[in-house]
Chain A
Amino acid sequence: MTPAWFCQSIDMKAYIRGIGNISPQHSWDNRLKEMEVTGYDNTHLRCIEPHYAEYIKPIQMRRMSRILKMGVAAAGKCLRDAGVEVPDAIITGTGLGMMGDTEKFLVSMLENDERLLTPTAFIQSTHNTVGAHIAVMLKCNKYNFTHVNDTLSFENTLLDGLIRVNENPAEKVLIAGIDEMTDSYFTIARNAGYWKENIDNSLELLRHGGPGSIAGEGAAFFIISGEQHPENYACFSGVRTFYKPVSEAETDQFIIEFLSAHGLGLQDVDILLSGINGDPRGDRIYRRVHEKLFGDNCIAYYKHLCGEYYTSSSFASWLGALILHEQHIPGYIILNDKPLHSPLKNVLIYNYHHDTNHALILLSAC
């Protein structure tokens, strides 16, 4: 029987021309080597927000929720970085959408027994708000899409972008992963057992025992295109998602088949960027894959930098792209002591959630 993930996929490749990334790290400047890493002594990592005034007019800013500001500013930075005024498509991915405005309208509705409500929060609660807002600001009438697939939201966005670029290689497509961790959602998810009780240094995430991970958030935007350019950071050369493996062997086969579909073997993965997040319930699966398949590869991780959230693989993509671009891997992300290849050519991001949605993103040097 044909394996479920098998695809005679077209050779889809997209170069990263520009990036704008707001995260709990000083990621705004897109410089990895010089970036001072930030550790947190609590389990709720929040974004380090830039000065918005450069990207958003004060009159607009007043009515914008925090995530909307983050999205619009990161998009603005990304476009500027790429030297693109108006993109040819806007594709956003978000697991939870506009949580802040959703909660605002919900609480006001519940507390006032469905009376005395105003529309602003409701209007801005729809999942496509960020993509729509960018379209209005840029007067961009082109393809506009929002994917909402919990931890696959960014992967499906990337797939959509790759299809678009494959159809029209000259186009500059804006793709993004955006999620915010509001105080309420943090509490709700904590009650549901998502987060650790406490932590003294997020940078040592994997040394903290007990169930749960740490909460995070972010807004990472990329301009991708089918065209080579001296200033490209790296390229997205593949993405694949995989639903509920029935066995460990199937997970292994999924990873091996994906690499082989891109002409690579396990040994060609210069860095595995693992989604391991400190929750022993899930880390078991990551650790098994690390040992079984990537025992000879350099393994690194990223959730101690950005926290766990639905579109964290967009942060991982930023990290992977800069590693390849700068040919530099910071020591604080490395998990094992295998020798590094030079030059670094391929970064594989492996992320999964509740053993349901497994996903791979392949980044390659230009």
Chain B
Amino acid sequence: MGRIVVTGMGIITAIGKDAGENYDALLNGRHGIGPVSLLDTRHRNEIPAGEIKLTNEELAALCGIGKPELYTRTALLGIIAAREAFETGIARYGINDHARTALVSSSTVGGMDKTEQHFYDFLSNNEYAHYVHTHYCSDSSIKICDYLGLRHMNVTISTACSSSVNAILFGAKLIRHGLADRVIAGGTDALSKFTLNGFNTLMILDREHCRPLDARRQGLNLGEGAAYIVLESEKTALKHHKEILCEISGYANANDAYHQTASSPDGYGPYLSMKEALDMSGLKPSQIDYINAHGTGTDNNDLTEGLAIDRIFAPRVPLVSSTKPFTGHTLAAAGVVETVFSILSIRNGIIFPNLNFSEKIAELSFEPVTELRRADINHVITNSFGFGGNDSSLVLSKY
């Protein structure tokens, strides 16, 4: 089978509205977690989050959209990140034929930001009826396709917090099977009261800045954002003399099949997804230089993910960090946000630190990387695990 490579990327998170800004913030330890100021919630001063400090009008202006009121925040974030991916991986090479460029996107909240504002209007009148059409998760995909002029397949995936890793995985399959030449793959999720309150009822939101992989972790911080990467076969990338950012050398999707929200005590699903992605890549565990962990900061995730890492790699565990203290947990977008960060790691030979760490988890053999660190990084695993036991991993390799 041919190799699948990445030739473009775009991102917007609480630490920056493009890849350059995100990289700069990661290098300088500048995180985006703080009080919520744009989302209208009673938890504003009590639950910190990784909110992008741009209003919908400002987001629309960034991508030249004249009528922001027709767009959900999820769609606006998606357009901004997908446009950057499209420009860096496709447009700058003068490629105008998008006949076989597919979009594989993902979202968990869809247009909930508008639905929760207008739900009672929906029930009583038709004044905001256009937001009925923006509620479902694929609305942002349609908006992205129209913005970029894509008319080939559009696919939207929703597997909770593993969504965008699954989008990348599915995009790679479409290319492998000749169903698309190029795929813009990723995900987008805006903050909403629905998700903030939902996670709050589960009592897994840290009231302070989150501390993934730390013994005294208290939960996660939610974030919002979007990111997309351009996938294609090595052959077409070389044909267009493209700069290849990395290779997707392995991927896997497994299910923990244990509980709707909790991981199995030994992290069997996470173990399977990492193991199968490694098997596909043909690499030995000792060849993995770095793991960008799912590392949400919840008691359950970090322990079980850590146990699964130990099961595969101990006693020689690669360098590990969770970058969620920078951005918060961006839900559907998390996997592709961290894929972009992992690509930055591979390209620049830098591992971004796991902020706020102080005490090792007793059950685990390893501690995360706590300071910016230079290293020769050839192979990275990035993990995303979600509600419903949906566990997915990617192996990214230097090209």
Contact = CB atoms under 8 A, between A and B. Distances in A.
Interface centre among A106, A131, A356 (most CB of B within 10 A): A106
Contact of B158 (A3, A8, A106, A128): A128
Contact of B254 (A118, A142, A191, A241): A142
B158 A144 contact: no
B178 A192 contact: no
Given A114-B197, A128-B388, A192-B132, A136 B43 contact: no
B120 A110 contact: yes
Interface stretch (A74-82, A181-189, A200-208, A298-306): A181-189
A156 interface: yes
A149 B115 contact: no
Interface stretch (A24-32, A119-127, A282-290): A119-127
Nearest to B150: A243
Nearest to B252: A143
Interface residues of A, number: 71
B157 A147 contact: yes
B390 interface: yes
Contact of B389 (A132, A148, A150, A152): A132
Nearest to A246: B151
Given A146-B159, A149-B138, A126 B253 contact: no
B152 to A, nearest CB: 6
Interface in A81-128: 90, 95-97, 102, 105-107, 109-110, 113-115, 117-119, 122-128
B231 interface: no
B155 interface: yes
B156 A148 contact: yes
A136 B119 contact: no
Contacts of B386: 126, 128
B390 A128 contact: yes
A7 interface: yes
Contact of A188 (B116, B122, B194, B260): B122
B116 A110 contact: yes
B202 A122 contact: yes
B375 interface: no
Contact of A148 (B137, B253, B390): B137
Contacts of A90: 255
A135 B255 contact: yes
A27 to B, nearest CB: 25
B95 interface: no
Contact of A193 (B99, B120, B126): B126
B28 interface: no
B347 interface: no
A163 B153 CA distance: 15
A126 B160 contact: yes
A144 B126 contact: no
A140 to B, nearest CB: 6
B108 A126 contact: yes
B387 interface: yes
Given A140-B255, A148-B138, A128 B160 contact: yes
A53 interface: no
A184 B390 CA distance: 29
Contact of B255 (A1, A141, A189, A191): A141
A5 B177 CA distance: 15
B132 A126 contact: no
A192 B120 contact: no
Given A4-B99, A110-B119, A192-B126, A122 B253 contact: no
B166 interface: yes
B50 to A, nearest CB: 19
A141 B257 contact: yes
Chain B residues touching A, range: 35 or more
A152 B136 CA distance: 12
Contacts of B123: 184, 187-188, 191
Contacts of A110: 116, 119-120
Contact of A191 (B129, B170, B253): B129
Interface centre among A113, A119, A187, A193 (most CB of B within 10 A): A119
Contacts of A140: 255, 257
A62 to B, nearest CB: 15
Interface string A143-174: 11111111011001001100100100000000
A237 interface: no
Given A106-B115, A143-B254, A191-B123, A4 B152 contact: yes
Interface string B258-278: 111100000011001000000
Contact of A135 (B152, B177, B257, B261): B257
A310 B269 CA distance: 31
A355 to B, nearest CB: 12
Contacts of A160: 170
Nearest to B161: A126
Nearest to B106: A148
Interface centre among B115, B153, B261 (most CB of A within 10 A): B153
Interface string B129-165: 1001101111101100110001111111111100000
B67 interface: no
Given A126-B160, A127-B158, A146-B158, A244 B178 contact: no
B236 interface: no
Contacts of B99: 1-4, 6
A123 B138 contact: no
Given A135-B255, A184-B123, A119 B202 contact: yes
B47 to A, nearest CB: 11
A132 to B, nearest CB: 3
30 contacts: A4-B152, A9-B179, A95-B136, A110-B119, A113-B42, A119-B202, A122-B194, A122-B197, A123-B260, A124-B260, A126-B158, A126-B386, A132-B255, A132-B387, A140-B257, A144-B253, A144-B389, A146-B157, A147-B156, A150-B139, A153-B138, A156-B155, A188-B123, A191-B122, A192-B133, A241-B154, A243-B150, A243-B153, A243-B154, A310-B136
Interface of B: 41-43, 97, 99-100, 107-108, 110, 115-116, 119-120, 122-126, 129, 132-133, 135-139, 141-142, 145-146, 150-160, 166, 170, 173, 177-179, 193-194, 197-198, 200-202, 253-261, 268-269, 272, 386-390
Given A144-B255, A145-B157, A184-B123, 16 more contacts: A5-B152, A7-B100, A10-B178, A90-B255, A96-B136, A105-B197, A110-B119, A114-B41, A128-B387, A128-B388, A136-B259, A144-B253, A188-B123, A241-B154, A244-B146, A356-B142
4 closest cross-chain pairs (CB), A and B: A132-B388, A122-B198, A127-B158, A119-B201
